[in-house]
A and B are shown apart, each in its own frame.
Chain A
Amino acid sequence: MVFNTGATLLDAIVLAVVSREPEGTYGYRITQEVQAVLDVSDSTLYPVLRRLQKDGCLEVYDREFGGRNRRYYKLTEKGVTQLRLYQAEWQTYSSKISGILASGGRKL
């Protein structure tokens, strides 16, 4: 990937991935899903999740799974708001970039 993914975009992606599960989802799965679309290292997502949690965008709870407690992440109300903002921002941003890149291609 020639374009780098900034911290904000990573926040947005993580929020989006977590929001797909109404019940919440867990670290390993989040990593897998993000990695399906983005080339990030496995340890990158922990700080992101931790920060989003501290910011109050994500809440955690433990649920029993296979004889142990697994930590689940879930969007808070604030997280939902934040994600919505990111979605709107991304819409604007990506359409502008796509527009300029497409028109640049046409002129050549």
Chain B
Amino acid sequence: MRKREYLDQLESLLADISPEERQAAIEYFTDYLEDAGPDGEQEAMEHLGSPADVAAAVKEGLSDDSGAGRFTESGYESGTEASRYAVAKAGRPPKETENSGKRSRAEAAGNETGQNRTGQRETGRSQAGQSRTGQGETGRSQAGQSRADQRETGRSQAGQNRMGTGQSGTYWETEREYRKQRYDRPERKQRKSLGWLLILIGGIICVGIPLVSVLGSVFAAVVAAVAAVGIGGFAAALGLAVAGVVLIIMGIVKMAMMPGMGLMMMGGGFLCFAFAALALAAGVWMWRTVIPWAARTFRSIFQRIFRRERSRS
């Protein structure tokens, strides 16, 4: 039976998870295929993908739950997680939302009716200064319409939110508790540093990885070039020496019939020897001087970096 086969395969692929989880998954997918009916069974299996796909999905779901949360995963995913987290946290009890929504819409409408923008902004700013409730700020930023202002809105909303939580909407509390136990995450105070951590991670990924890879490839290219010159020097020396020997021998042979030609060839041969010696010297210099020097320089650069880091910490 095709279905039995599918489920057996899935079960063996899930051999490395806990028996409880395996049981739950197998039950679910058995149910699933049963519910698809004898006619829809084949199609349902196609839709599910291979047993390996399903097993991967099951395991991925499990790794999500493992205590430390998704921050342990790669930066990108934790970024997603953070926005998810932030969205859920930045919310506030719905009543308040409606109010401030109406208010800001009214402010924005006021702005549209005339008055130049700068004037409006100043009014807003002074309002904010006087009242300090954060709502004035909301109005201003809505009127200002610049991105920086938008950010202000968020901040002032967060301010309201803090107040709102104090007044305590009941499910808001439960939500917080829920989030806490679900992700085992620190509370509001540490959220800022969490944000910075994410920015840092993002920065490292956006700047660090390209930088490191570029530096790495430049380094590799330099190493290759140095090695090539080193090896090339010896090869050239060898080639020139062989050419020199050949020319001298040919010169001696020609000497008997055409003395002029023979002498020229011998001269060329000695010239080749001279160049061979030069190439040999270059190769030797490369290996004995340039490469050790480069190695020393790199080492001292790294040492300096590490020392700086150590002193920083």
Contacts and interface: CB of A to CB of B under 8 A. Distances in A.
A55 B182 contact: yes
B308 to A, nearest CB: 40
Contact of A28 (B32, B97, B171, B182): B32
B44 A71 contact: no
A8 B35 contact: no
Contacts of B84: 6-8
A4 B57 CA distance: 17
A106 interface: no
A5 B189 CA distance: 29
A79 to B, nearest CB: 10
Contacts of A92: 91, 94, 97, 101
A88 B91 contact: yes
B65 A42 contact: no
Contacts of B27: 71
Contacts of B94: 88, 91-92
Given A27-B28, A27-B35, A28-B36, A84 B171 contact: yes
B8 interface: no
A46 B58 contact: yes
B245 to A, nearest CB: 72
Contacts of B29: 46
Interface of A: 6-8, 26-29, 31, 41-44, 46-51, 54-55, 68, 70-71, 78, 81-82, 84-85, 88-89, 91-93, 95
